[in-house]
Chain A
């Protein structure tokens, strides 16, 4: 499989990966701008903008955008994260230029029709309402807000209701103007793709844009915090966070192996101790999320109000124990899972397009899978234990609880438990 990267003179990048044997392709534009690039008064605009993507351009109305892609049996979508916004399509080999045309039209010539803005405003307000009604969604937003209080990285992607009600055409085009510069856009395609063709198309369509200086991003600073919200729900949702490495930190692989062994799957410690041995929950997992300048390791579980105290105690004891007794067998298992997860993910064209776009955004190049495997392989048991210890000794916990919390469970109690 061949990865090719090309940069236009204005900084616009094209990265492609050919996958022999595939007759379809995934193609999209990843923009290095997401919710954390918003100023406080703009919170929610990146996501609003993504919603407006398929609502019409100067050349096509919403129906024509949908028909253009559906006529050739393709599909098109978009998403917003804290650091990126992506617009992508899945099409057959011969329709890659068409997909490129539709996506670039969306990015370069959005119409922002006032009627469409009103319709999408309603849809986004519904989405916010739904997120609030989905405890296992909203708890992660709270955890993020309390880990990074009063910071861009802590704010929600959807944004607060009052801002969504107020956004207009100027806000949308203002954010595009500020952030959709050529050096922050990456055209990424994987599957049955022709690199030279995409470079030519990109040059013709994006080559005229002038590069602009990127606005500075507010540095993230993990603080830790607590939010306990009592509500009459069926379950208590428990989320515990610690600061972890950012994605350029050499410890990122050790941290990911650590969370894999701690709570990455059915063979992990937390799953075995909390669920299989004691039946305290159905869902429990640990994960490591990384950003440009920070990261967070999170443990989540859903349990009953009476049992959340036990669940917290066992979680604390497993966190402490893993510093001293995480075994080579567990580390090897988590390592094998991590490698397999990465390598198996490479079978899908959409995953590959996403991966190479992210790699270019982070590193300016695409490390080979072999390079990544080598890094995963070089993690030792001592590295994993050190990462576990650093996490507990250097980071204050963030605790979020939502539901019928019957017990006196607080962040202070968890901190005390971790110390003794």
Chain B
């Protein structure tokens, strides 16, 4: 297991340079990591348990089991009836939810600070004592299939995303949808869910994050009482997933669906993620995405494609470096109505080629950096969002030191760094280019 704090001291408190909040961390004897983010402005806490397991850790052929299990976690335990978890949270004026990604599964409640004890009692209970029957499995499978209908099959953009990811990753399990392929969801059974649960839902695979009106000492006392007695899973190794081989050829997709009202061209490139202790490349790519697409008006792609020419009604770039394994860098163009996708793609390529010649505008870079500095202040004013970003980063293999270093790394990125990152990332062999529209269009020779 990667330690979330490299120094591994029993308790370390640090004030992050740009932030007012104090973050501290410690590890329970059973291996459960605990992070406390203090914010005493309101008598509220966010209690989150993040498991270092997600859709990319599923056994082959069992796609969707991580997300399915997230649903089952509300079914009940020896002490709680099905549905009672949410009932208790609601009766105590709280809000609860859960989410699954490729790299993590997380559960959170937001409650008055004096209800933290109760939340920990229930969350610790369902970490090891979940109960569900074959009948629960049948009912919940219907719910999950309906969820897939609603969120994926009803949404052509989501269907395209699924196909694009499958084409993007030749080997990494990021090529599987989080919700799962329909035929595999239909076949998931109680044994699959239980095996996954027993293996991964354990204190030594979890990170507890408590943010809000609490002290580290209070959290330690409660965490030791509730999570401390839970048994770890023996022999749980650090995640090792199949890695990408070199990509030798661009993949091109033509995705046609009559429900698509607004056609677009989207290209994504395989890109490095933030690596612990080596986040510089990801910092440069983060800034590249800002320069190309951070603002609907002042960024390079908007300027060149929407204002200097009328090729597009929208054009932007995206990159999310917080990922356990390789991630993607993307660009897209939504052409002006009536423009063929072929021309749109050419316009997008021209805009990027011009940018590669012209380099980064110094004023724009300054503007982006001041936005990021202001963003730090806004983040600080939203403790729940902050806690969530810690959870995502920590389950993506980063440490608290990496999180603390990130804002300064972004500020240190130079125009040269950005151009070098662009040179590296814009390699068509690593790309998937998709044309998405109501019907297929011809590609001009």
Contact = CB atoms under 8 A, between A and B. Distances in A.
A220 interface: no
B370 interface: yes
A266 B367 contact: no
B90 A337 contact: yes
B140 interface: yes
B261 A282 contact: no
Contacts of A235: 146, 149-150, 154
B377 A23 contact: yes
A275 B143 contact: yes
Nearest to B112: A340
Given A73-B373, A329-B91, A333-B87, A279 B146 contact: yes
Nearest to B152: A234
A98 interface: no
A320 B434 CA distance: 51
B297 A62 contact: yes
B259 interface: yes
A67 B146 contact: no
A232 to B, nearest CB: 10
A21 B150 CA distance: 42
Contact of B150 (A65, A302, A348): A302
Contacts of B153: 234
A302 B149 contact: yes
A339 B44 CA distance: 13
B18 to A, nearest CB: 11
Nearest to A93: B377
Contacts of A304: 146, 149
A340 B146 contact: no
B110 interface: yes
A133 B261 CA distance: 7
B211 to A, nearest CB: 12
B221 interface: no
B443 interface: no
A5 interface: no
Contact of A126 (B91, B295, B313, B381): B313
B298 interface: yes
Interface in B141-165: 141-144, 146-147, 149-151, 153-154
A122 B149 contact: no
Contact of B142 (A279, A340, A347): A279
Contact of A135 (B74, B138, B154, B371): B154
Contacts of B96: 266
B241 to A, nearest CB: 29
Contact of B297 (A63, A337, A348, A349): A63
Interface residues of B, number: 59
Nearest to A118: B310
Contact of A280 (B83, B142, B295, B381): B142
Contact of A266 (B74, B140, B151, B381): B74
B423 interface: no
Contacts of A341: 95
Contacts of A74: 374
Given A24-B377, A92-B377, A267-B86, A122 B337 contact: yes
Nearest to B142: A279
Contacts of A62: 297, 307
Contact of B381 (A277, A329, A340, A349): A349
Interface string A219-250: 00000000000000111000000000000000
Interface in A317-339: 329, 332-334, 336-337, 339
Nearest to B303: A63
B104 to A, nearest CB: 21
A19 B95 CA distance: 23
Interface of B: 41-42, 44, 74, 82-83, 86-87, 89-96, 110-112, 138-144, 146-147, 149-151, 153-154, 259-262, 295-298, 307, 310, 313, 336-337, 367, 370-375, 377-378, 380-383
Given A135-B154, A279-B143, A347-B41, 14 more contacts: A23-B380, A23-B381, A63-B307, A73-B374, A91-B374, A132-B261, A235-B150, A235-B154, A266-B74, A282-B147, A333-B91, A336-B91, A337-B93, A341-B95
28 contacts: A21-B41, A24-B381, A63-B298, A70-B295, A72-B374, A73-B370, A73-B372, A123-B313, A126-B313, A129-B261, A130-B262, A234-B150, A266-B86, A267-B90, A278-B139, A279-B141, A279-B142, A279-B143, A280-B146, A281-B143, A302-B150, A302-B154, A304-B146, A304-B149, A333-B90, A333-B91, A337-B93, A340-B112
Closest 9 pairs between A and B when the two form their complex, measured CB to CB: A73-B374, A279-B142, A340-B93, A282-B147, A266-B86, A66-B297, A279-B139, A336-B93, A129-B261
